[in-house]
Amino acid sequence: MEIKQIGVIGAGQMGSGIAQVAAQAGYSVVMMDASDSQLDKGIERIQKNLDRSVEKGRISVEKKVEILERIGTTSKIEVVAADSDIVIEAIIENIKVKSEVFRELDVHCPSHTILASNTSSLPITEIAAVTKRPEKVIGMHFMNPVPVMKLVEVIRGLATSDDVFHTVHDLAVQMGKQPVEVQDFPGFVSNRVLMPMINEAIYTVYEGVATPEAVDQVMKLGMNHPMGPLTLADFIGLDTCLYIMETLYEGFADSKYRPCPLLRKYVKAGWLGRKSGRGFYVYE
């Protein structure tokens, strides 16, 4: 399969990042979001990222203009679906919302179009089941921030064909990423390993073992992590961390994935991390 045009559903941090790296790789991109203001913010975010690349001498001004010209926007799902060879969904981490989007994409996309989800923990097989093309549904889990992070987890659903897997694997390489094949289990590899570590770090604060600063210092200085787990949790968003832990807990029915009560408490209080101005740390 040859990929010429890429559709992206969602103009948030992940969606705009995916649109940017796709355009940088030379693909025509249509980025869709139901909110016009979110589309404007997405394009603005891409422009700022490219401006930084120009300042650092990584790309020329002419190259920046070329990249931006490859990105179109729309608020209509039928427009993003019409001519795309692959559509990558990057919206809220909610199985009902994602399934509805895939159901609509299945109706509006040409028969050859691959449907990919940037989900960080939800089952690809379940998402694929709402379509009439489960063999063409796959996971492409990019890391945040997308323009910087190299990894893409490529997740096969139960019915994903070999042709689709290899096409998406090669697409990730063309986008400058390092694809890693992962099977369809809750949390895949990245979040199945990362989130319980973050959850356990929260437990150490909850049980009074150490302060957030101390926990992060131990992991940075003792384990050579570039960022402590609680700083990382604030960066990801504590609501997102809780949602993924709940997905793991429900998916495996194993008590080791039980979310820490302190994590639930912070989310209920609206202390979501950087995006809300307060989590385990306070942000000005």
Based on the number of CB atoms within 10 Å of its own CB, is 207 exposed (0-12), middle (13-18) or buried (19 or more)? Answer: exposed
Asked if residue 14 belongs to a known ligand binding site, the reply is: yes
Asked if residue 200 belongs to a known ligand binding site, the reply is: no
User: How many whole angstroms separate alpha carbon 279 and alpha carbon 211?
Assistant: 13
Asked if residue 15 belongs to a known ligand binding site, the reply is: yes
Q: 120, 121, 161, 199: which is the annotated catalytic residue?
A: 120
Give the alpha-carbon dihedral of 252, 142, 35, 114, to 10 degrees.
-90
DSSP structure string for 95-157 = HHHHHHHHHHHHHHS-TT-EEEE--SSS-HHHHHTTSS-GGGEEEEEEPSSTTT--EEEEEE-
Asked if residue 12 belongs to a known ligand binding site, the reply is: yes
153 is known as an active-site residue: yes
141 is known as an active-site residue: yes
Asked if residue 178 belongs to a known ligand binding site, the reply is: no
Local structure of 194: helix, strand or coil: helix
213 is known as an active-site residue: no
Asked if residue 66 belongs to a known ligand binding site, the reply is: no
126 is known as an active-site residue: no
Tokens of 67: 């990249």
Q: 53, 153, 161, 199: which is the annotated catalytic residue?
A: 153
Q: Is the peptide bond before 145 cis (omega within 30 degrees of 0)?
A: yes
* Contact criterion met (CB below 8 Å) for 19 and 71: yes
Asked if residue 57 belongs to a known ligand binding site, the reply is: no
Asked if residue 184 belongs to a known ligand binding site, the reply is: no
Asked if residue 176 belongs to a known ligand binding site, the reply is: no
Asked if residue 174 belongs to a known ligand binding site, the reply is: no
Asked if residue 47 belongs to a known ligand binding site, the reply is: no
Binding residues for NAD(+): 10-15, 33, 93, 98, 120, 144, 275
Q: Which residues are annotated as a binding site?
A: 10-15, 33, 93, 98, 120, 144, 275
* Residues carrying an active site annotation: 120, 141, 153, 191
